[in-house]
Amino acid sequence: MAVAAPGQLNLDEFPSWGSRGVDCFEKLEQIGEGTYGQVYMAKETETNEIVALKKIRMDNEREGFPITAIREIKILKKLHHQNVIQLKEIVTSPGPDRDEQGKPIDGNKYKGSIYMVFEYMDHDLTGLADRPGMRFTVPQIKCYMKQLLTGLHYCHVNQVLHRDIKGSNLLIDNEGNLKLADFGLARSFSSDHNGNLTNRVITLWYRPPELLLGSTRYGPAVDMWSVGCIFAELLNGKPILPGKNEPEQLTKIFELCGTPDELIWPGVTKMPWYNNFKPPRVLKRKVKDAFKHFDRHALDLLERMLTLDPSQRIPAKEALDAEYFWTDPLPCDPKSLPSYEASHEFQTKKKRQQQRQAEEAAKRQKINHPPPHSRLPPIQHPGQSHQIRPGHAPPVAGGSSHYAKPRGPGGPNRYPQGGNQGAGYNNPNRGGQGSGYGSAPYPQQGRGPPPFPAAGAPRGGAGSGYGVGGPNYPPGGPPYGTSGPGRGGPNYPQGGSRNQQQYGSWQ
C-alpha cells in the first residue's frame, strides 16, 4: 500500500475514510450516550472484529461539520501509539426518510450521521477503581501510570495537548493495556507556548491552578497536573481535590499545595484572576503531610507533579525516569493483570439506578443493608511504608455485575456541575459529562467570559472530549522534556538508560 508523505493525504489507504456505510457494522449494545449521539459496541460484519462506534450527529449543525470533530479526527490521524486510542476509520449513515419524490420529509437535507470507528476497550480506569471490593496493587498502579506517562509523552513530543486527562478517559482492555482516549478537547500547540488558548478546559477536579487563575498561554504541564491528581487518587483510594466550583477548587489546591507568590511561582501575581482568589492568609504546603503514608519515592514524584509553578512541574519524560518506577516492587507486566467484567458508564449507570431502587424498596420493608461502597487504597507488600486497611478482600477476577452507589457531592450525582462527568466511553467528568470515546457535546471554543462574576456563574468547559488545556510556561522557563542523562544500573538491560527503554525511536 502506498503511504503518503507526512502532512499529505493518503488517498490509497483502504478502506478510504468515509467510503463505507455504518451498515458494514452490526450494533451489539449501546455503551454510551451524550448530546452529540451515542456510542455502541459493534461487530464488523465481514471480519467479526469488535469495535466502538461513536456517532457524531449533524442535525444540530447549521454550518456543516463540527470544527471540534474535525480537530479531533485530524489529531487522531496523526497519533499512532500503543498507549493512544486508535481511530480506525470514518463511516456514514443515510440521511432522513424521503417522500415519493425523493425529498427529505423534514426538509433538512444535511441530516444523517457520521460515525467514528474506534478499537474497542473493555474498561476505563475510573470504572475499575469504583468496583466494590476493588484494590489495585502497587505494581498494578505502577503499570498503569507508566503506560499513561508513555502515551502522554508521545502526545507532547508530537505537540498535542490532551487537556482532559481523567480516569474516565483512560481506557483499559482485558490484557492490561491502557490507552489515552477522548481527544475532543485536544489541541496542537507550538513550542514557544505563546498561543492564546482557552482556559475553560480540563475537568474541574483535575484542572491545574494556572487555568483556574485565568492563564491563556500554557503547554504540556497542564496535563501533568492532571496526571498527578490521578496518581494520588489511585494511591489514596479517592479523589484528592473534589471541588464543587472554581473558587472552591482553588481553595483546595492552596490548602494542599500552599499559597503561591512571586518567590515560588514568578509571574503568578500578574495572572488575570489572582487578586480575585488569593487566600486571605498565607498557607503552607502540606503535600508531604497529607500523604505521609505513601512510599517515599511515590511522594517525591507526586510533589514534582503537583508543583504550582508550571515551568517547574515535572514533564512526562522525566517522570518515566523517576525512582518510583525503578524500585521494588517494579511495575507488573500488563498481561499478568486479572480480567474483569466489562464496565462502561452507560451500563453501570443503569445498574446503579437499579441498585438505588432496590435499596429504597428494601428500606420501605425495613430491611437492613450494608453501608455504601467506597474505594480502597492499594494492596501493599510486606516491608512497604504504605498503610493498609485491615479486613478488606482482594480484587476478584471476573468481578461482580453489582456496582456501588456513586460517591461525591450531591449523592447519586457524584460529579460537580460544570466538569466532565463520566467514565470511559460516555461519562463526562470527574466533574462533567462524556466518555472515553467522546460522545458528550463539544464545548464552545474561545476564551469565555471572565471567571465567576457572581454566584451561579457557569463553570468550566462542558462535556468531555479528547483533551483541553495546557500549562503556562513563562518566558525563559525550561523547554518541555529536558532531563538529565539516563541512569544505568542493575534494573536496565545492557546498562542502557531508562529513557531509551521507554520511548524507542520516536523520542
**pLDDT (tens digit, 9 = 90+) per residue, 109-122?**
556 778 999 999 99
Alpha-carbon distance 452 to 251, whole Å? 14
HEC sequence for 442-463: CCCCCCCCCCCCCCCCCCCCCC
With residue 357 as reference, give the H or E element that holds it.
helix 345-364
Catalytic site residue from 122, 124, 130, 164: 164
Alpha-carbon distance 435 to 171, whole Å? 10
Can you read off the three cell numbers belonging to residue 70? 474535525
What's the pLDDT at 64?
A: 74
Q: Using 50, 70 and 90 to split pLDDT, how confident is the model at 437? A: confident
Q: Using 50, 70 and 90 to split pLDDT, how confident is the model at 441? A: very low
Question: Is the pLDDT reported for residue 85 higher than 90?
Answer: yes
Q: In this predicted model, what pLDDT tens digit does every residue of 271-318 receive, in sequence order?
A: 999 999 988 889 999 999 999 999 999 999 999 999 999 999 999 999
What's the pLDDT at 357?
A: 81
Question: Is the pLDDT reported for residue 376 higher than 80?
Answer: no
Could you give phi then psi for residue 348, rounded to 5 degrees?
A: -65, -30
Instruction: Tell me whether residue 164 is one of the annotated catalytic residues.
Output: yes
Q: What average pLDDT does the segment 317-334 reach?
A: 96
Can you read off the three cell numbers belonging to residue 105? 420529509
What residue segments make up the domains of the chain, in order of their start? 20-96+112-477
Q: What average pLDDT does the segment 248-269 reach?
A: 96
What's the pLDDT at 373?
A: 58
What's the pLDDT at 363?
A: 79
The annotated binding site for ATP is made up of: 54
Can you read off the three cell numbers belonging to residue 456? 451561579
Q: State the angle between helix axes of 221-236 and 296-305 in degrees (0 to 180), rounded to the nearest 10.
A: 150
Residue with cell 499512532: 80
Average confidence score pLDDT of the chain: 74
Q: What average pLDDT does the segment 32-44 reach?
A: 76
Question: Is the pLDDT reported for residue 73 higher than 50?
Answer: yes
Among 81-95, 128-142, 143-157, which range has the highest average pLDDT? Answer: 143-157
Question: Is the pLDDT reported for residue 401 higher than 80?
Answer: no
CATH 1.10.510.10 assigned to 20-96+112-477: yes
More confident residue, 430 or 126: 126
Helix boundaries (H) for 270-344? 274-277, 287-290, 296-305, 316-320
Q: Out of 89-103, 154-168, 294-308, 433-447, which region has the weakest mean confidence (pLDDT)? A: 433-447
> 310 and 210 in contact (C-beta within 8 Å)?
yes
Question: 180: closest CA among 226, 239, 240?
Answer: 226
The helix/strand/coil state of 127 is: helix
Residue 21's CB is within 10 A of a number of other CB atoms, namely: 12
> 180 and 404 in contact (C-beta within 8 Å)?
no
Full strand arrangement of the beta sheet holding 170-172: 123-124, 170-172, 178-180
pLDDT above 90 as % of the chain: 45
Question: Is the pLDDT reported for residue 83 higher than 80?
Answer: yes
Cα–Cα distances (Å) from 34 to 140, 243, 245, 323, 451, in that order, read 31, 24, 22, 41, 26
Q: In this predicted model, what pLDDT tens digit does every residue of 411-433 receive, in sequence order?
A: 343 334 444 433 333 444 444 44
Residue with cell 488569593: 278
pTM value? Answer: 0.71
Full strand arrangement of the beta sheet holding 87-92: 20-21, 87-92, 113-119, 50-57, 37-44, 25-34
Question: 117: closest CA among 58, 28, 42, 45?
Answer: 42
Cα–Cα distances (Å) from 112 to 20, 46, 107, 374, in that order, read 14, 24, 12, 43
